[in-house]
Structure 1
Amino acid sequence: MHFKDINFIIIGAGKSASTWLQKQLQSDPEVYMPDPELHYFSRNYSRGDEWYLSQFKDAGVGQTVGEKSNSYLYAPDAAAHIHDRMPHVRLIAQLRNPVERAYSNYCMLFQRGEVGPDIESYLDPSQGGGNKLLISGHFASHLQTYIDLFGREKLLILFFEGVLDDPEGQMSQVRTHLDLPPHPLAPEGWSKTKDKSAPNVPAHWKKRLGWMKPIVRPLRGTATFETARGWIASETQYPPLTDDLRKRLNDYYGPSIEALEQISGQSLSHWYGSMDEPGGMTA
């Protein structure tokens, strides 16, 4: 495997159903994608090119080869690293209302016990405007870096709403961008993923029981495991995103959304509407 043999990269965004895109492409025998996010050009660059290329060793002759790593959209040097190795590669970005994305990301971190219940200390732009939760949503500036290097024609910009409203049309755009023939949607593409309303093991229990993971891993999915998990799992009560905080976030992201409209050529006025329910698709 050589860099010239890698055809595409899904660069993000996180919490925007990019995993759905990956599953759909992986269901096609003409496509090869490794399962994990490699994060090579953002977090694992020190591992070296040989390590990265080895992740594609199982790709078959003639397959369209690619990967997905959401961190590539935000990492400062990722675009330059990718262009240095693969100036030919085609790029896909699937984006979500930055207010909804930030709240979804906050909820994920809250469920893990990595952030506290004081939501404003993390999502109020006047308090945390420089933190990663908010900076990640400035899609226009992140994408402009890629456009400056690769050109606009190599970048396909999609939106989260397309997965919900017209999944066939969404994948048709992807397949056209990658010069792939039509292929039916994978059945799992119709289901929700990472449902935030599903019962979860509280973060403090996860830390206490972390040592048991290797022991119980073979039991996952069995009736015994699910019964035991049910004893301690509960529905997480997430701090709500208030109307006032949502308005502040809309104001904060307004200029960035306008810039994204110019880049994408699409109106995003609907992004100022209501928030997603906590149980939506958040891949």
Structure 2
Amino acid sequence: MGTQKGGTTTLYQLLKSHPEIYLPENKEIHYFTKFYDRGEAWYRQQFANAPAGLLRGEITPYYLFHEAVPSRIHALRPDMKIIALLRHPVERTLSQYFHSCRWNLETLPLEDALAAEPERLQGALEVIRQPGGTHLSYQEHSYLARSRYEQQLTRYFRLFGEQRVLVLRSDDLFAGDRATLDRLSAFLNIDSFAASTPVPKANSGEGEAKQVPAEVKRRLEAELAPTFDWLDRVLGISW
């Protein structure tokens, strides 16, 4: 599911290689966000080529952050299994910022963009709660908001229960950690990934982030301290 800039392309390629799983060629379908107004029949059509008997899924990172998505998924399939792939919150924030810069979606310097985020996101929820509603800044300028994983995961836990939500660190997936791969296969009730299964690592946008001053990174860690604390306390996840 997510988070953005968190390694979902790696997860997509890994799952797509498994013989018991079908994923559409289009990795990010965005039905529960941008295309919700197209209706359930349109969504089901995205899986029309799935062979009988295979697990079906999709990977749209925006689903983790988008406030309206958990209830929309639950309305369709309350038994859905959710996989959340998390990257270090500060690294994720910086990676999204530089991604937006590369795509000409951001013109402000880093610290100005972070300071502008609250104002940019004002009124966004009213827009995105509408079927098919889109808000540019909610999707592209939500640098800190998207890294507040505790808020996002709590929405899913509340509806689906923690037993139907698997939370993994992207670092562990990138490393091909055996325990992580085994947790993933057990969660999906599929055969274990072969020991020789390659775990591809897509571009995570780390280059520019290395140039960010250490002081700026420390301030971001302080800003996101509640997230780090919650992840450690509730899920036992730390970096």
Normalising by the smaller structure, the TM-score range is: 0.7 to 0.9
Structure 1 residue identity aligned to 2:30: H
In the alignment, is the contact (CA less than 8 A) between 2:150 and 2:227 conserved in 1?
yes
In the alignment, is the contact (CA less than 8 A) between 1:110 and 1:238 conserved in 2?
no
Structure 1 segment 146-157 matched on structure 2, within 5 A? 146-157=156-167
Which residue is equivalent to 1:17?
Answer: 7
Structure 2 residue identity aligned to 1:170: T
1:263 Cα offset (Å): 2.7
Per chain length, whose mean CA-contact separation is higher, i.e. which structure has more relative contact order (CA < 8 Å, sep 6+)? 2
Question: Matched residues in 1 for 2:14 and 2:164: separation?
Answer: 20
Question: Normalization by structure 1: what TM-score?
Answer: 0.71
In the alignment, is the contact (CA less than 8 A) between 2:95 and 2:209 conserved in 1?
no
Structure 2 residue identity aligned to 1:41: F
| 1:88 aligned onto 2:98 | no
Which residue is equivalent to 2:203?
Answer: 194
Which residue is equivalent to 2:211?
Answer: 240
Deviation per residue, 1:60-82 (Å, 9 max, x gap): 11111111111111111100000
Question: Matched residues in 2 for 1:260 and 1:195: separation?
Answer: 22
Structure 2 residue identity aligned to 1:53: R
1:160 Cα offset (Å): 1.5
CA separation of 1:128/1:117 partners in 2, compared to 1, >3 Å: closer, same or farther? closer
Structure 1 residue identity aligned to 2:214: D
Question: Matched residues in 1 for 2:45 and 2:180: separation?
Answer: 30
| 1:38 aligned onto 2:9 | no
Question: Matched residues in 1 for 2:177 and 2:186: separation?
Answer: 14
1:141 Cα offset (Å): 0.9
Structure 2 residue identity aligned to 1:112: W
Identical columns (%): 26
Question: Matched residues in 2 for 1:44 and 1:267: separation?
Answer: 33
Question: Matched residues in 2 for 1:48 and 1:174: separation?
Answer: 30
| 1:177 aligned onto 2:166 | no
1:239 Cα offset (Å): 8.8
4+ residue stretches of structure 1 with deviation over 4 A?
A: 236-239
SS in 1 for 2:95: helix
Structure 2 residue identity aligned to 1:175: S
In the alignment, is the contact (CA less than 8 A) between 1:140 and 1:263 conserved in 2?
no
Structure 2 residue identity aligned to 1:72: Y
Question: Normalization by structure 2: what TM-score?
Answer: 0.83
SS in 2 for 1:93: strand
